């Protein structure tokens, strides 16, 4: 599944704190040197603010419009200016009368620069960064929530999201995760030539121990295929359908008989309602064909997907459909198909989700989906060797962390 960021409220009461970098724009450059036309040669470091363009940042630094325009034109030959991001930092060298150089990191793997040459014109270049992937191990015991345990264990949010998604095919995070359960995870941190962490790499291994039942998964790329996560027996954790196609706070209404909150009488509720903030992305539960995209009275904005001759999934009460959604197109598991809303007969924003087997709605939380691919032969042998290597690395890195968590768990 295309991993989407888990929302500000997550399963098990996950609460994501505001990022320290999310500061008011008027304070963003308070500690950064500001250019002065009469200050002589100087270096200015400015961060991109909302609404900025590369041109506007250079002008704010003190470059002339002509110099800024020429530097932008040169950079456009090696980098797409539309890829500039909020908080991205630019180092700008100003001479006595002219802009001399602008340099910044374009992602974590390269830097780009435009520099004035001896002929007075700008030339741009793209330079790869020397990066190293460092294995990092973390272990945590769940007290208030899995999310908080991961934060306490130093697990970066993007890595945490990968772990949750990989286990979500087999784990009901709302019901099965309890205080005292634990996790272990081996992931990569990406460092530069100075040893500074500049990003996160892949999650290589994770385990969750739920009520003494241990689940272990390993990252492995079969020959000619994309990397996937496999359990210890070499079976892909990926299933035909996701159990929860939205990053929801809670189940607000389960499958079965209930008193309808608007109609006022008892009737069969043939799906599961996931409470989530309006605008939360809704994902396709599996690969499939879009059958319906319509306003469907009580369902409100409604999408129906066919995954096979047996399975269909339905999504109701959307605030809006994803761009390009129309009957007849194919979607991939995890692709955004719409956004949570309260259209139709709904008292508040939520996703009404149905799984239909041979045309009959069944409980999405109890249906058993077909298992993923099983590795065999030489692929299984290669997987076992890769898993053994990961186990050894995790074992070497685990000792101090496990000891620390064991001591802390007795507090």
Domains and CATH numbers, the chain: 32-128 (3.10.450.350), 132-239+376-409 (3.10.450.350), 250-362 (2.70.70.10)
pTM value? 0.66
Neighbour tally for 403: CB within 10 Å: 11
The tens place of each residue's pLDDT in the chain, 411 residues long, gives 433 434 433 433 333 333 333 333 333 443 344 444 445 689 999 999 999 999 999 999 999 999 999 999 999 999 998 888 999 999 999 998 899 999 999 888 899 999 999 999 999 999 998 899 999 999 999 998 888 999 999 999 889 989 988 888 888 776 788 899 999 999 999 998 888 888 899 999 999 999 888 999 999 999 888 899 999 999 999 888 887 888 755 676 766 665 556 555 466 677 889 888 899 999 999 899 999 999 988 899 999 999 999 899 999 999 999 999 999 999 998 899 999 999 998 888 999 999 999 988 888 877 777 777 889 999 999 999 999 999 999 888 876 555 444 554 445
Dihedral over alpha carbons 135, 141, 145, 147 (to 10 degrees): -10
CA distance 186 to 134: 10
**Nearest of 203, 161, 197, 165 to residue 184 by alpha carbon:** 203
User: How far, CA to CA in Å, does 212 sit from each of 83, 179, 181, 182?
Assistant: 46, 12, 8, 9
């Amino acid at each position: 599944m295309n991993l989407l960021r888990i929302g500000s409220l997550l399963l098990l009461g996950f609460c994501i704190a505001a990022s320290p970098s999310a500061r008011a724009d008027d304070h963003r450059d308070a500690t950064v040197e500001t250019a002065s036309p009469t200050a002589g040669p100087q270096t200015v470091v400015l961060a991109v603010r909302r609404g900025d363009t590369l041109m506007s940042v250079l002008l704010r630094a003190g470059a002339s419009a002509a110099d800024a325009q020429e530097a932008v034109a040169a950079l456009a030959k090696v980098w797409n200016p539309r890829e500039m991001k909020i908080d991205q930092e630019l180092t700008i060298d100003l001479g006595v009368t002219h802009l001399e150089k602008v340099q910044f990191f374009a992602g974590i793997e390269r830097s780009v620069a435009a520099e004035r040459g001896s002929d007075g014109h700008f030339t741009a270049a793209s330079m790869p960064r020397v990066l190293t992937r460092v294995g990092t191990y973390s272990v945590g015991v769940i007290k208030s929530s899995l999310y908080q345990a991961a934060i306490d264990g130093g697990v970066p949010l993007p890595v945490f999201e990968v772990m949750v998604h990989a286990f979500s095919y087999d784990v009901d995070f709302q019901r099965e995760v309890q205080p005292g359960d634990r996790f272990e995870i081996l992931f990569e941190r990406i460092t530069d030539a100075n040893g500074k962490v500049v990003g996160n790499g892949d999650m290589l291994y994770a385990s969750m121990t739920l009520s003494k039942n241990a689940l272990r998964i390993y990252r492995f790329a079969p020959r000619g295929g994309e990397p996937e996560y496999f359990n210890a027996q070499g079976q892909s954790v990926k299933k035909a359908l996701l159990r929860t196609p939205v990053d929801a706070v809670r189940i607000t209404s389960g499958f079965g008989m209930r008193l309808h909150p608007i109609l006022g009488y008892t009737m069969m509720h043939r799906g599961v309602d996931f409470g989530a903030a309006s605008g939360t992305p809704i994902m396709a539960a599996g690969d499939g064909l879009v059958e319906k995209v319509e306003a469907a009275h009580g369902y409100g904005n409604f999408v129906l997907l066919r995954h096979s001759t047996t399975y269909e999934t339905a999504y109701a009460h959307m605030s809006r459909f994803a761009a390009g959604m129309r009957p007849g197109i194919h979607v991939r598991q995890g692709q955004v198909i719409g956004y949570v809303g309260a259209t139709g007969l709904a008292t508040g924003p939520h996703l009404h989700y149905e799984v239909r087997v041979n045309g009959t709605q069944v409980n999405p939380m109890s249906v058993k989906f077909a298992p993923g691919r099983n590795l065999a032969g030489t692929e299984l042998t290669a997987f076992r060797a890769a898993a053994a290597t990961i186990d050894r690395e995790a074992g070497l890195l685990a000792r101090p962390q496990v000891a620390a968590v064991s001591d802390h768990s007795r507090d």
